[in-house]
Amino acid sequence: MESRPVTKVAALKPGERRVLTVDGEEIALFNVEGRHFAIGNRCPHRGGPLSRGHVEVVPAVGDHSTEESRAVPTVAVRCPLHGWLFDLRTGRCLNQPQTSAAAYAVTCRDGEVCLQR
């Protein structure tokens, strides 16, 4: 999928989310404190609608004693059916690392939110 505009930046305020259909795929688009994320709307476990999940910040884990090892918290969505957490940036499931949902790169330009997979 090439980069394409899917909605106006002003149409999705911080804390809001929207389900879009792009090329036949349902995509959940989130605005988390002004940062936009897009992930496939169906949990790969049981098909739960990720757009209805709770968004949370998961603290970074590990040794952060050096500048190089500094990790950043993960913004994730919790599936409303079974509670699995998915990293909104990568689609990786934090509970089951071998599982992931489709993730889309999101950029904002000229007042538009654009997706690219």
Q: Which of 47, 82, 76, 46 is nearest to 60 (CA)?
A: 76
Length of the chain equals 117
Which class is domain 4-60+83-116? mainly beta
Distance CA 39, CA 19 (A): 10
The strand pairing partners of 16, in sequence order, are: none
**pTM given for the model:** 0.86
State pLDDT tens for residues 69-116: 456 788 999 999 999 999 999 999 998 989 999 999 999 999 999 998
* Separation of CA 49 from chain center: 13
Torsion, Cα of 43, 41, 17, 86 (10° steps): 40
Q: Where are the domains of the chain?
A: 4-60+83-116
| The token pair that represents 101 in the structure block | 């949902």
